[in-house]
Structure 1
């Protein structure tokens, strides 16, 4: 598991665009991650595959994300649903005559 590293303590650093980034021991980063360079003392190797899997499940964003593509054999709609009169809220403009 030497391909992944874990911060030993929480810290904040600035990325190349000037944005503050926070790292904590629940996160797992790739060995080539920009935050490691010059901060090697703040990281340790991830312990095992379960450690990496657990951290990825909790640290890398929401888990309830809609699938972007159709599964094999699944049909997807390519059009937006039609608006009903109630949805549109459009009424013909009345003339001032």
Structure 2
């Protein structure tokens, strides 16, 4: 009992000492929304296999191909932008003066 009280006072004490500029940010002001999201996640993980046991698998091939292509294009663009800025980490003569 004493441990739970110490934990509770520690959590709410850290909320009181937080930066007031972060109050409007989602999931920052109180630990309650994070705990509720975590409980929902556990519920989905526990009940998901039970619900899907007699269901056919979803056909996501087209969606996954589109996602992978978009990630390839995004990675190529980011590489191009980093290379365009003459990033020393990608320079062929790294370490030479």
- Fold match (TM-score > 0.5): no
In the superposition, the TM-score normalised over structure 2's length comes to 0.19
Larger relative strand fraction? 1
Provide TM-score, normalisation by structure 1. 0.19
The structure that is helix-richer by fraction is 2
